[in-house]
Amino acid sequence: MAKISSRGEIVETSGELPELGSKAPDFALRKADLSPVALADYAGTRLVLNIFPSIDTPTCAKSVRQFNERAAALPNTRVLCVSADLPFALGRFCGAEGIDNVETASVYRSPAFGRDYGVYMADGRLGGLLARAVVVVDEHGKVIHRELVPEIAQEPDYDAVIAAL
């Protein structure tokens, strides 16, 4: 288990992020329109997994906006923003914000994602949600960058993600 903090409170996650160079764990999530999405849907492209607790918090919303601007402009790269929010909330946010360069997906039917990626927060006030993390997967399904943000209110290192791409 990894340890992060949430406003000073120590929180344990369900495990560790996938190792660099390892094959990214498969997933079966739901997009804003409730259609299924899996890792295989991104075969041949680079994938940024922007993982966070809830779109309805300032830092999570900012990360979606930032990735919409930064990583989405890179060639052969897609960004999937993943949270435990219902697909409707993710769709509402992106529609209201005019965000169309990233995709969103919910784990509401797929609790295995949090465990497989080591980001399920096992305890604390946000227990049951996902920790803030970024995992970058190359065209062959290998993990080429990973970051578990140590404080839940802190933004990920966008520059490190771009550099990995």
Domain with 130, as residue range(s), is 3-164
Q: In 3D, which of 18, 9, 13, 17 has the Cα closest to residue 141? A: 18
Residue showing tokens 């965000």:
99
Model confidence over 125-147: pLDDT tens digits? 888 999 999 999 999 999 999 99
Q: Which residue is catalytic, options 29, 39, 55, 60?
A: 60
* Between residues 118 and 62, the one the model is more confident about: 118
Q: What is the mean pLDDT of the chain?
A: 92
Task: Give CA–CA dist 153/85, Å, rounded.
Answer: 17
The tally of domains found in the chain comes to: 1
Euclidean distance between CA atoms 139 and 77, whole angstroms: 9
pLDDT band of residue 41 (cuts 50, 70, 90) is: very high
State the Cα angle at 54 between 51 and 60, rounded to 5°: 65
Q: Return the structure tokens found at 159.
A: 């520059």
Its pTM stands at 0.94
CATH code for the domain of 82 = 3.40.30.10
Predicted local distance difference test score (pLDDT) of residue 62: 87
Could you give the CA distance from residue 146 to residue 84 in angstroms, rounded to a whole number?
Answer: 20
- Is 60 catalytic? The answer is yes
pLDDT of residue 136: 98
Tokens of 73: 């402009």
Q: Which two tokens stand for residue 45?
A: 């492209």
pLDDT classification of 148: cutoffs 50, 70, 90: very high
